[in-house]
Structure 1
Amino acid sequence: MLIHDMQKLYEDGITPHTNGNFLDHLHLRKYIGKDYISTTQIWAEANLFWFVCGGMFHKSLCDNLRFSPNMRNEDILFGMVLFAKTDSIKVIKSALYIYRIRANSTGDYAFSKSESLKSYPAYITDIANTFNNNLKIKQYYFSYSIAYICLGILAFIDTLPPSEKDMRDKLNIFISKYIDWAFGALKLESDLKPLEPYTKWVGSSKKLAYFAPHIFSILRACENIFKR
């Protein structure tokens, strides 16, 4: 796999960021011109992953890609799996990707904190009505997307046979990088509407975990002891 730099193109009067370029942000510049490195070497320092400028894959790996709907970071869920499948990586300094930073994009770079509430798609209406603030909506939606990604990766790990221990270890490293972001929404003072109407679709153990988390944790600990 080839990892390359990118060029940011700021539009709509957005102030350019001063946090360096992509390779510096991921602490990868020191690998330029060196022999091929491993995924584990990169993940030891990098704290995020962008599939779009994170590499060039052989076409055979990209034939069955599936984007997950209703997510802000829809490329990460499949991108991390492809990245974990990589045997060797080469880092080059060429900027082979142009990243447009513009108003009204998924990243929402241009809105003001005092701006009136934007129009949101139907799948995010509950979140928008609860927070009624563009910045809080953006923060919660980001955490929600990252949590979805982590759960998706965990589900994929569960399908791996024992022989795929190397990939399992790589993906566990990835989750450890993102888990703090996944729980970032807990820091917001607003809460989404009560979950009671939806509990008719879940089992009794999940209901107990939601309504009585302390009791649930004690019972789970006891269950683990009996399984030993």
Structure 2
Amino acid sequence: MMSNLFSIFDPSTSLGFPLNWFSTTLGVLIMPLAFWVTSNRYSLLVSRVVTALHQEFSTLLGANMKAGHTVLFVTFFVYIVFNNLLGLVPYIFTASSHLVMTLALSLPMWVGIMFYGWFNHTKHMLAHLVPLGTPGPLMPLMVLIETISNIIRPGTLAVRLAANMIAGHLLLVLLGNQGPMVSSSILTLLLVTQILLLVLETAVAAIQSYVFAVLATLYSSEVI
């Protein structure tokens, strides 16, 4: 019995250990494509997705991109979309709905980008604090605004991903709890609605992963 609605996101188990977090490592069993003897539909699909993402991220990073620069952002997408889709399976913990995980992805990435930018492109980072054409009296205010905007970036990345995953799951749970209390005719409509919401959540899982990876790529492109 749930103590409250948000207890569906509780990572604890009856054994007293957060074993549900181990679900984030299940991708290790299926992702290494190099161990497949022959290509199958799954490996071809993953290869096409990775190739398309590499081309798009290369375009966003521009001519200053270093070799292997897109690997980090493609990995972000694959890891997040795997956890998002895995969370839609019944009785499997949705790790990406927790700020602990989303912040663990966004904060180190942002800190690394900032260190790289300030140590290697200090003048560019300082110039970026004042947009081109800003009047002189407004420059101190623009520096403050740009600094705050830069600092909250990892938080916005983490909250956006977690909030979108929580919202869909809560809606599915709220509708699912109405099943025992409605008539058979309304139950049919409820099931159809649940299926449509599940399809929508599948799309949201992929879109949010893509948004996270693209924004991380854009943040990185600003410092190179």
By the TM > 0.5 criterion, same fold? no
- Higher relative contact order structure (alpha carbons within 8 Å, sequence separation ≥ 6): 2
TM-score (norm: length of structure 1):
0.25
The structure with the greater share of residues assigned to strand is 1
TM-score (norm: length of structure 2):
0.26
The structure with the greater share of residues assigned to helix is 2
